[in-house]
Amino acid sequence: MKASLDFIKQLELLYEQYEQEVIENLKAGLLKENTAKTYLTHSANFVRWCRNDFVPGDRNK
């Protein structure tokens, strides 16, 4: 794990808020679907990286 468990828990709570905001903006027509998907995918990957559950570019090896 790249970060402490307390930090990960706080980060996951913040990510949930971020996810809701992105979804609300998508529903309001402020974001296109591909844009929302990109925002969520990359931010989720960052959370996974903090948990040591993701390696950027690993799939491309």
pLDDT tens across 4-33, in order? Answer: 999 999 999 999 999 999 999 999 999 999
Total domain count for the chain? 1
pLDDT digits (tens, 9 = 90+) for 43-56: 999 999 999 999 99
3-state secondary structure the chain: CCCCHHHHHHHHHHHHHHHHHHHHHHHCCCCCHHHHHHHHHHHHHHHHHHCCCCCCCHHHC
In a domain, 22, yes or no: yes
pTM (two decimals): 0.85
> Domain limits at 33?
5-55
pLDDT at 49 (0 to 100): 93
